[in-house]
Amino acid sequence: MKSKIWKYATVLVVILIIFNPEMSELAIFVDAVGLEVFLMLLEIQLLAILSVFFNCKIVPIYTYLKYIFAVYHVAFMATD
C-alpha cells in the first residue's frame, strides 16, 4: 500500500514539474532517483541552511543574553 502511494506521488510530482519547462531536468532527476531520495536531499539541504542560521544568529544572541544575565546576577548578589 505504501509503495503504491509513493509511486503515485512520484508520478504526480514528475508530471507537475514537467509542465514547467524550466524544471524538466529536475523531473528527470526525480524520476531517476525517486521521490524519497529527492525529499531526503531537500531535507539535508534545509538542515544545512538552518544549522548555519542557528550557529551564526541564534547562538551569539544566546551567549550574549547568558553573559548579561550572569553579570546582572553577580551585581545583584553583590548588593545584598
> What are the DSSP calls for 44-79, one per residue?
HHHHHHHHHHIIIIIHHHHHHHHHHHHHHHHHHHHH
**pLDDT score for 44:** 93
Total-model pTM: 0.51
**pLDDT score for 45:** 93
- Residues (pLDDT < 70) of the chain are 75-80
**pLDDT score for 78:** 65
Q: Which three three-digit cell numbers place residue 16? A: 507537475
What is the four-CA torsion angle of 55, 59, 61, 63, rounded to 10 degrees? Answer: -140
Residue 17 and residue 24 in contact, taking contact as beta carbons nearer than 8 Å: yes
**pLDDT score for 80:** 56
